[in-house]
Amino acid sequence: MWKRPRRGGHAHRDDIPPVELCDQCGAVFPADRAVCALVPDSSCAQGRGGRADGLRLLTACGEQHLEELREDYRRRPFVEEELWAAKVTQALSAGPPALTVAEVARRTGLHEPEIHRAVLWHNRRLREAREQPDP
C-alpha cells in the first residue's frame, strides 16, 4: 500500500523510544533503564487461574526506589480473602454478569466457601470505609 511521505519535523511512532513510569516517584524514563521485581500482593488478580495471581510487577527508575517499593509491600499483609475478592470482582466485571455462586466458581477457580469469605471480606471493607470520617 502507498504511504504518504512524512513531513519534516514530526516524530513518527517508530522514532519514539519506549518509556516506563516509576511506581515510586512517577518519573518517566527510558524503558531500557527500568528495574523491576515481582512482589506478593493479595489485591492483584491477573486472570482466571493465572499463575501470577497474588503477584504485582513493580517498575522503578532505580534500585533505591525499587527497594522502597519492596519494603512497602513487605509491610503489607497478604490476605487470602482479598485475593479471592479481586478474582471475584474480575470475574463479575468481565463479560456477562455471573448470577450464581457456581458460575462465579467456574469463572474464578475458587470454591464456594472461598467465594463467600471473599464477599464477606469485601463487604466488611466497604462498611469500614463508609464509617471512616472524611479527611
pLDDT digits (tens, 9 = 90+) for 18-69: 999 999 999 999 999 999 999 999 999 986 567 889 999 999 999 999 999 9
User: Do strands 55-60 and 28-30 pair parallel, antiparallel, or not at all (unpaired)?
Assistant: unpaired
Q: Could you read off the pLDDT of 65-76 as tens digits, one per residue?
A: 999 999 999 999
SS3 track for 58-113? EEECCHHHHHHHHHHHHHCCCCHHHHHHHHHHHHHHCCCCCCCHHHHHHHHCCCHH
Is the predicted pLDDT of residue 82 greater than 80, yes or no?
yes
Residue 8: per-residue pLDDT: 52
Cell of 101: 455462586
| pLDDT, tens only, 83-98 | 999 999 888 888 777 6
Confidence of residue 3 (pLDDT cuts 50, 70, 90): very low
2, three cell numbers: 502507498
**Predicted local confidence at residue 29, as pLDDT:** 95
Residue 12: per-residue pLDDT: 54
Mean pLDDT of 102-122: 93
Which residues face 57 on adjacent strands? 38
| 1 pLDDT above the threshold of 50 | no
Q: Write down the pTM of the prediction.
A: 0.75
Q: Return the bridge partners of 60, or none.
A: 35
Quick one: pLDDT at residue 85?
A: 95
Contact criterion met (CB below 8 Å) for 88 and 115? yes
- Long-range pairs of 111-118 with CB within 8 A, sequence gap ≥ 24: 114/80, 114/84, 115/84, 115/88, 117/80, 117/81, 117/84, 118/81, 118/84, 118/85, 118/87, 118/88
